A and B are shown apart, each in its own frame.
Chain A
Amino acid sequence: METRLEAFREKIGERRPLCIRGGGSKDFHGGPQQGEVLDTTGYAGIIDYTPSELVLTARCGTPLAEINSALAARRQMLAFEPPAFSEAATIGGVVAAGLAGPRRGTAGGVRDHLLGVRLMDGEGRVLNFGGQVMKNVAGFDVSRLMAGSLGTLGLMLEVSLKVLPMPRCEATLRFELPQARAIEAVNHWAGEPLPISASCWRDGVLHLRLSGAEAAVAAACAKLGGEKTGADEAANFWADLGAQRMAFFAGDAPLWRVSVPSATPVLDLPGPTLIEWGGALRWLRCEADRALIESRSGAAAAVALFRGGDRQVGVFPRPAPAVQTIFRRLKTVFDPHGLFNRGRLFPDF
């Protein structure tokens, strides 16, 4: 591993633009790749995993699948349910992409579970931030800054993530509800002490997943009604949703990912919609341009082009100028020569 580290350092030392790449499962995500590929897949392996500490530390190239199975063997999980999109997905890519799955609405996202990173910066220096403990306020929280940075701030060598026990019991309920009623219902239920762990509305049907203590799930099922989905069918449903294997995600129409305040009413936009995270995530298959989608999604929305469409013009919403200034300065702090993943987050970044 030391020699691989040395190889990374040498590559960075050449000062040519680099495209940090793990399994390539998210090549489609963010702006188009530029620069020479820096392959992380060889820098792999779980370094430390003690189930009773609820923390796992792994090298960036470790396959997500390997981590998931190590956790499953001890009945634990990454609670943010990162989507893999392919078997090749690595944990470094998971953290850099900052994407979370169905449980995001209740369990939080990647950033919420990131405890520490070991980073190689644009000068080839190895830096440690955060750590392997759940509570740590020494120094600025640089590790959480890496979640969703798409590799623009440095090469993550190792990451430490908080893990959680798998729920002891799970059930999925199905409700026939039009979109507006479904949005209202999930928001209303989220305000009650119910063990809801995921929701998905599509085509007039709301699917609700309950996770927790057996008694709590049973009581919630009794209270909510609806129709219970079989256990296998339910497991497949949520896995397919996370990995975007459902029919909704197939085809070439641009896929937009619009995050909104959860109680936002039905968006007045053409094309099919799928709703997750208790109403806070609206997936759209829509040919309309960004300006129209933004104007119809409300001032508080964040509109990102997830797949397809024209990626050259930028896929993520732009922060306000003052925030962009800070972003730019931070980029210079970690990557003074502008080597890492140019154009991936913003076209000129």
Chain B
Amino acid sequence: MTTSASVIDPAEDFPMADRTALLAALARLVPPTALLTTEDELRPYECDALMAYRRLPLAVVLAEDEAQVVAVLRLCHRLGVPVVARGAGTGLSAGALPHAHGIVLSLARMQRMLHLDPLSRLAVIEPGMRNLAISEAAAAHGLYYAPDPSSQIACSIGGNVAENSGGVHCLKYGLTVHNVLALRVVLMDGEIIELGGMAPDAPGSELLALMIGSEGLLGVVTRVTVRLLPKPRTARVILAGFADIARAGEAVAAVIAAGLIPAGLELMDQAATRAVEPFVGAGYDLEAAAILLAEADGTAEEVEEEIAAMRAILERHGATSLRVSTSEAERLKFWAGRKAAFPAAGRISPDYYCMDGTIPRRHLGRMLNAIAAMEKKYGLGCLNVFHAGDGNLHPLILYDANVPGELERTEAFGAEILRRSIELGGTITGEHGVGFEKLGSMCEQFSSDELQIFHAIKRAFDPAGLLNPGKAVPTLHRCAELGRMHVHRGQLPHPELERF
């Protein structure tokens, strides 16, 4: 989709291997059912959930166990063939986009839970296991796995690790990085490393955070040890409307400043509520400029106390309507609208493009005004949904790929939102990753020294550079080509912005 990103950098290119020889060698390593080679078979793997970018790989291997992962990586390492790991393919930044001269290594068939220890509250699982399936398996013990991306019925834990995925409850319970205790990883040359363990300070745990969120560039994760938490007894959510989006932002700040950490805190603007309401009938206040969902969970007593405290604050900060869920069914109904935001965008517009910047929460009003101005500038509509608790924005830009020029305008619109995120002291991606999509914006967030450090880290794990090449970190050459300038953060590019 991004015309700029379609530049293939020579440093990210690899000579085409002899395909016939490669396929024959792979066929000796894995059973026929684990090897896809025809165009029809390869088609479903040409993209992830950011479908605007597509490429066919030379082959897809559906690994069944770690030994096959090791064997395939060794072979590709020897032959100089790029490898792109893939989980469920729900990524939103084209991280699992195939390399035209490489293979896709799917982990989706490796989905066993190897060990569940209810007393120590941890589980050891294979990378292809679906996020939600972990919680389902732990439910019998009153436990669950906390990070809950909206894609949790489909996405894999390996993909979650690669992206450091979050969810609506991550303000209180943390991201993937806070809930993973150990990883087993196969490096590109076939070597296996173990990072962290069931003990809090196990050797190698220093490298855990580096591996988490590394977008499949450093190694292939074959085993994940996660922390399980006791399931909260109950939860209730407040649905509040505001006449002004900035006031909703202030109410969020007031809730946090009062010492409350809600289990979930989500904001939607009017364009978003009006898009989802006909779709799911969540009961949103469509006159409100913005609605806020604020959830409390825990024991019944705890929930009552927090709901009462949040309610008082929201009312004091100008909520024009306010309802508290009175049953589990109603709680799910209030959430249904928020969870339907992406599909609703897809329903009211032929195409949509989801952005993922994070900003310090105090700049919310400023950011939303800027986005409103961009809607006019680019002649495109935008729905705003927002993980308000942690400042992670998901503007959904509406466009039609069949209208000449709209794609390019959408892309420029998105890039401008990200640039603004950096200027406001934030980041270009809160949870979806850089992938192939945001390479250009990386040039703006990081200096060339910093980018060079990233490349050197990559080489420390994968000296041959064969794992997911051309993703996550742009080459300096690409940045120069794009003419994208580093927006210097530490130096306060906008001294006029208030700091407190």
Write the residues of chain A forming the contact surface with B, with a CB cutoff of 8 angstroms: 48, 50-55, 74-76, 104-105, 108-109, 111-112, 118, 121, 125-129, 131-142, 144-145, 147-149, 164-166, 168, 187-188, 190-195, 212-216, 218-219, 257, 259-263, 277, 280-281, 300-302, 304, 316-320, 322-323, 326-327, 329-330, 332-334
Contact = CB atoms under 8 A, between A and B. Distances in A.
A51 B500 CA distance: 9
B81 interface: no
Given A137-B433, A141-B210, 11 more contacts: A109-B200, A118-B490, A138-B429, A138-B434, A139-B442, A141-B212, A141-B214, A215-B302, A259-B200, A318-B203, A332-B460
B178 interface: yes
Nearest to B438: A138
B207 A133 contact: no
Nearest to A104: B200
B214 A140 contact: yes
A144 B230 contact: no
B254 interface: yes
Contact of A128 (B163, B164, B202, B489): B489
A320 B253 CA distance: 46
B358 A136 contact: yes
Nearest to B254: A52
Contact of B360 (A50, A108, A168, A322): A50
B175 interface: yes
Interface string B225-253: 00000111100000000000000000001
Contacts of A319: 203-204
28 contacts: A50-B499, A51-B256, A53-B256, A53-B361, A75-B259, A125-B449, A128-B446, A131-B427, A132-B360, A133-B391, A133-B425, A134-B390, A135-B430, A136-B429, A139-B473, A140-B210, A141-B212, A142-B210, A149-B206, A191-B118, A191-B142, A191-B143, A195-B298, A213-B302, A259-B202, A280-B200, A300-B198, A316-B203
Contacts of A134: 171, 358, 390-391
A263 B228 CA distance: 14
Contacts of A277: 200
A262 B248 CA distance: 42
A99 to B, nearest CB: 10
B392 to A, nearest CB: 5
B361 to A, nearest CB: 6
Contacts of B256: 51-54, 165
Nearest to A135: B430
B198 A261 contact: yes
B449 A193 contact: no
Nearest to B361: A53
Interface string B37-70: 0000000000000000000000000000000000
B442 A138 contact: yes
B453 A323 contact: no
Contacts of B301: 213, 215-216, 218-219
B450 interface: yes
Nearest to A184: B119
B121 interface: yes
A304 to B, nearest CB: 7
A67 to B, nearest CB: 17
Contacts of A219: 299, 301-302
Contacts of A322: 187, 191-193
Interface in B417-449: 425-434, 438, 442, 445-447, 449
B261 interface: yes
Contacts of A142: 210, 453-454, 457
Nearest to B166: A135
Given A193-B232, A219-B301, A53 B362 contact: yes
A51 B457 contact: no
B259 A165 contact: yes
B346 interface: no
A75 B256 CA distance: 11
B387 interface: yes
Given A165-B261, A317-B203, A133 B302 contact: no
A322 B257 CA distance: 46
Contacts of B298: 193, 195, 212-213, 216
Contact of A262 (B120, B210, B360): B120
A96 to B, nearest CB: 12
The 4 closest A-B pairs by CB, nearest first: A215-B301, A144-B209, A165-B259, A329-B460
Nearest to B490: A128
B452 to A, nearest CB: 9
Given A128-B489, A144-B177, A216 B461 contact: no
A302 B460 contact: no
A304 B302 CA distance: 39
A215 B459 CA distance: 53
Nearest to A109: B200
Contact of A135 (B212, B358, B472): B358
B449 A133 contact: no
A187 B143 CA distance: 13
Given A111-B209, A322-B191, A302 B178 contact: no
Nearest to B230: A193
Given A127-B449, A323-B193, A302 B199 contact: yes
Contacts of B496: none
A139 B425 CA distance: 16
Contacts of B358: 133-136
A220 to B, nearest CB: 8
Given A138-B428, A141-B209, A320 B203 contact: yes
Contacts of B121: 187, 190-191, 262
B429 A216 contact: no
B119 A188 contact: yes
Interface in B154-178: 163-164, 166, 170-171, 174-175, 177-178
B306 A131 contact: no
Nearest to B202: A302
Nearest to B449: A125
Given A51-B257, A302-B203, A323-B207, A131 B425 contact: yes
